Protein backbone atom coordinates (compact mmCIF):
# COMPACT_ATOMS: atom_id res chain seq x y z
CA UNK A 1 0.00 0.00 0.00
CA UNK A 2 1.27 3.47 -0.84
CA UNK A 3 1.79 5.97 1.96
CA UNK A 4 0.05 9.32 1.95
CA UNK A 5 2.07 11.83 -0.06
CA UNK A 6 1.93 15.57 -0.49
CA UNK A 7 3.94 17.62 -2.98
CA UNK A 8 5.74 20.79 -1.97
CA UNK A 9 7.74 23.15 -4.14
CA UNK A 10 10.90 24.84 -2.83
CA UNK A 11 10.66 28.65 -3.06
CA UNK A 12 13.00 31.56 -2.24
CA UNK A 13 11.54 31.80 1.25
CA UNK A 14 12.71 28.25 1.95
CA UNK A 15 16.39 28.25 1.05
CA UNK A 16 19.30 29.71 2.95
CA UNK A 17 22.51 31.26 1.66
CA UNK A 18 23.91 27.78 1.05
CA UNK A 19 21.26 27.42 -1.65
CA UNK A 20 19.49 24.58 0.14
CA UNK A 21 16.32 24.37 2.21
CA UNK A 22 16.91 25.81 5.71
CA UNK A 23 16.78 23.00 8.25
CA UNK A 24 13.79 24.31 10.22
CA UNK A 25 11.67 24.52 7.08
CA UNK A 26 11.40 20.75 6.75
CA UNK A 27 9.27 20.89 9.89
CA UNK A 28 6.97 23.30 8.02
CA UNK A 29 6.81 20.89 5.06
CA UNK A 30 6.12 17.96 7.40
CA UNK A 31 3.30 19.88 9.09
CA UNK A 32 1.71 20.81 5.75
CA UNK A 33 1.72 17.13 4.82
CA UNK A 34 0.22 16.11 8.18
CA UNK A 35 -2.53 18.70 7.77
CA UNK A 36 -3.33 17.39 4.29
CA UNK A 37 -3.17 13.80 5.56
CA UNK A 38 -5.69 14.59 8.33
CA UNK A 39 -7.86 16.39 5.79
CA UNK A 40 -7.70 13.32 3.52
CA UNK A 41 -8.91 11.20 6.45
CA UNK A 42 -11.83 13.52 7.05
CA UNK A 43 -10.37 14.81 10.32
CA UNK A 44 -11.27 18.49 10.79
CA UNK A 45 -8.85 19.99 13.30
CA UNK A 46 -10.81 23.20 13.78
CA UNK A 47 -14.02 21.29 14.48
CA UNK A 48 -12.11 18.95 16.81
CA UNK A 49 -10.94 22.00 18.74
CA UNK A 50 -14.35 23.68 18.78
CA UNK A 51 -16.55 20.64 19.52
CA UNK A 52 -14.31 18.35 21.57
CA UNK A 53 -11.87 20.92 22.91
CA UNK A 54 -8.93 18.73 21.93
CA UNK A 55 -6.16 18.76 19.41
CA UNK A 56 -2.83 17.21 18.44
CA UNK A 57 0.53 18.68 19.34
CA UNK A 58 3.99 17.49 18.39
CA UNK A 59 5.83 16.45 21.55
CA UNK A 60 8.95 14.99 19.95
CA UNK A 61 10.59 15.24 16.55
CA UNK A 62 13.66 13.38 15.33
CA UNK A 63 14.97 14.55 11.97
CA UNK A 64 17.83 13.22 9.86
CA UNK A 65 19.11 15.59 7.21
CA UNK A 66 20.56 13.60 4.34
CA UNK A 67 20.65 15.64 1.17
CA UNK A 68 20.00 19.27 0.34
CA UNK A 69 16.95 20.37 -1.63
CA UNK A 70 17.34 23.39 -3.89
CA UNK A 71 15.25 26.22 -5.26
CA UNK A 72 12.45 24.99 -7.56
CA UNK A 73 12.83 21.38 -6.43
CA UNK A 74 9.57 19.50 -6.05
CA UNK A 75 9.56 17.28 -2.96
CA UNK A 76 7.19 14.47 -2.06
CA UNK A 77 6.39 14.53 1.66
CA UNK A 78 5.08 11.26 3.04
CA UNK A 79 3.08 10.51 6.18
CA UNK A 80 3.06 6.99 7.65
CA UNK A 81 1.52 6.22 11.04
CA UNK A 82 3.73 3.61 12.69
CA UNK A 83 2.44 3.35 16.24
CA UNK A 84 -0.95 4.25 17.65
CA UNK A 85 -1.38 4.55 21.43
CA UNK A 86 -4.23 5.66 23.66
CA UNK A 87 -3.14 9.30 23.91
CA UNK A 88 -0.41 9.71 21.29
CA UNK A 89 0.93 8.29 18.05
CA UNK A 90 4.15 8.11 16.10
CA UNK A 91 4.45 9.04 12.44
CA UNK A 92 7.27 8.58 9.99
CA UNK A 93 7.73 11.27 7.40
CA UNK A 94 10.14 11.66 4.53
CA UNK A 95 10.92 14.45 2.10
CA UNK A 96 12.04 12.90 -1.20
CA UNK A 97 13.33 14.23 -4.47
CA UNK A 98 11.44 13.23 -7.61
CA UNK A 99 14.08 10.52 -8.25
CA UNK A 100 13.36 8.96 -4.87
CA UNK A 101 16.44 10.18 -2.99
CA UNK A 102 15.64 11.19 0.59
CA UNK A 103 16.38 14.79 1.64
CA UNK A 104 15.13 14.48 5.19
CA UNK A 105 13.48 11.75 7.26
CA UNK A 106 11.63 12.29 10.51
CA UNK A 107 9.93 10.44 13.31
CA UNK A 108 7.20 12.58 14.85
CA UNK A 109 5.39 11.91 18.12
CA UNK A 110 2.03 13.69 18.31
CA UNK A 111 -0.05 13.73 21.47
CA UNK A 112 -3.73 14.42 21.96
CA UNK A 113 -4.25 17.28 24.43
CA UNK A 114 -7.14 19.20 25.96
CA UNK A 115 -6.76 22.79 24.70
CA UNK A 116 -7.90 24.37 27.97
CA UNK A 117 -4.92 23.14 29.96
CA UNK A 118 -2.81 21.26 27.39
CA UNK A 119 -3.11 18.06 29.46
CA UNK A 120 -2.91 14.68 27.64
CA UNK A 121 -6.23 13.22 26.57
CA UNK A 122 -7.24 9.86 25.13
CA UNK A 123 -7.65 10.03 21.37
CA UNK A 124 -11.39 9.57 20.57
CA UNK A 125 -12.12 5.97 19.50
CA UNK A 126 -13.41 6.78 16.04
CA UNK A 127 -10.34 8.92 15.40
CA UNK A 128 -7.93 6.13 16.34
CA UNK A 129 -9.58 3.90 13.78
CA UNK A 130 -9.35 6.58 11.14
CA UNK A 131 -5.72 7.55 11.84
CA UNK A 132 -4.55 3.94 11.82
CA UNK A 133 -6.42 3.13 8.62
Which sequence positions are flagged as catalytic? 16
Restricted to residues 45-64, the positions that interact with its own copies (CB under 8 A) are: 45-46, 55, 57-64
Restricted to residues 72-111, the positions that interact with its own copies (CB under 8 A) are: 72
Q: Does 22 bind its own copies (CB under 8 A)?
A: yes
Out of 27, 41, 43, 80, the only residue in the binding site for its own copies (CB under 8 A) is: 27
Shortest Cβ 53–its own copies spacing (Å) = 13
3-state helix/strand/coil string of the chain = CCCEEEEEECCHHHECCCCEECCCHHHHHHHHHHHHHHHHCCCCHHHHHHHHCEEEEEEEEEEEECCCCECCCEEEEEEEEEEECCCEEEEEEEEECCCCCEEEEEEEEEEEEECCCCEECCCCHHHHHHHHC
Alpha-carbon distance of 31 to 35, in angstroms, equals: 6
Q: How many residues bind its own copies (CB under 8 A)?
A: 37
Smaller CB separation from its own copies, 9 or 86: 9
List residues binding its own copies (CB under 8 A): 9, 11-13, 15-19, 22-25, 27-28, 31-32, 35, 39, 45-46, 55, 57-66, 68, 71-72, 115, 118
Amino acid sequence: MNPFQFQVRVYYEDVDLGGVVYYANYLRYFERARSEWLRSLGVNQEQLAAVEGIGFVVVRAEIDYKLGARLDDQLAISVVPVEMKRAYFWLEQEARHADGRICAAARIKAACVRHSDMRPQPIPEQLIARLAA
